[in-house]
DNA sequence: TTTCTTACA
DNA sequence: TGTAAGTA
């Protein structure tokens, strides 16, 4: 199928589909006229990419993790060092949460202080 | 009409 | 990401 059909079947814009390819997430063949040609598997690949993206993973992490996903559900077939990569992601998220909690505490403090208005 | 690349908002 | 331009 061409990019337009893949776009309709996945709900992802052609712009993004080309971007995914540029990021090494989605493979595409080429027709003699230069048009990208996709196989049926591309539909599930795009769905997996979306799930992973919604988990907040960067395209770089997805590139490493995608080849180790199972055909059906987006999730994994624990090969290579996927666990380490994902564990590291969890750690950076925890760090962000800590920082946000500090921000929250500071702002909440401003609100509990009697205003001079 | 659809797709392609490049580039700007 | 959307969109414009100029093609094939």
> Which pLDDT value is given to residue A116?
64
Q: Specify the pTM.
A: 0.85
Neighbours of A14 (CB within 10 A): 14
The integer distance in angstroms from the CA atom of A2 to the C1' atom of B1 is 13
Largest Cα separation within chain A, whole Å, is: 73
User: Which residues does A21 contact at the CB level (< 8 Å), separation at least 6?
Assistant: A27, A28, A36
Cα–Cα distance for residue pair A44/A102, rounded to 1 Å: 40
Q: Is A7's CB less than 7 Å from nucleic acid strand C?
A: no
Tell me the CB-side half-sphere exposure of residue A74, using CA atoms within 13 A: 15
Q: At what angle do helices A14-22 and A3-10 cross, to 10 degrees?
A: 110
Q: What is the pLDDT along chain A (117 residues), one digit of tens a residue?
A: 999 999 999 999 999 999 999 999 999 999 999 999 999 999 999 999 999 999 999 999 999 999 888 877 777 777 778 889 999 999 999 999 999 999 999 999 999 977 666
Nucleotides of C under 7 A from a protein CB: 1-3, 8
Q: Looking at residue A117, what is its pLDDT? A: 65
Residue A7: per-residue pLDDT: 97
Distance A45 CA to C2 C1' (A): 24
- In the DSSP assignment, the letter for residue A25 is S
Residue with tokens 């989605």: A26
């Amino acid at each position: 199928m061409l990019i337009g059909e893949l776009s309709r079947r996945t709900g992802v814009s052609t712009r993004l589909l080309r971007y995914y390819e540029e990021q090494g997430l989605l493979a595409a063949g080429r027709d003699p006229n230069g048009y990208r040609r996709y196989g049926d598997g591309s539909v599930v690949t795009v769905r997996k990419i979306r799930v992973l993206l919604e988990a907040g993973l960067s395209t770089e992490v997805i590139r490493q993790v995608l080849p180790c996903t199972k055909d059906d559900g987006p999730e994994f077939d624990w090969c290579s060092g996927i666990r380490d990569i994902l564990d590291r992601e969890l750690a950076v998220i925890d760090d962000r949460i800590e920082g946000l909690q500090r921000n929250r505490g500071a702002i909440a403090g401003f609100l509990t202080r009697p205003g001079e208005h």
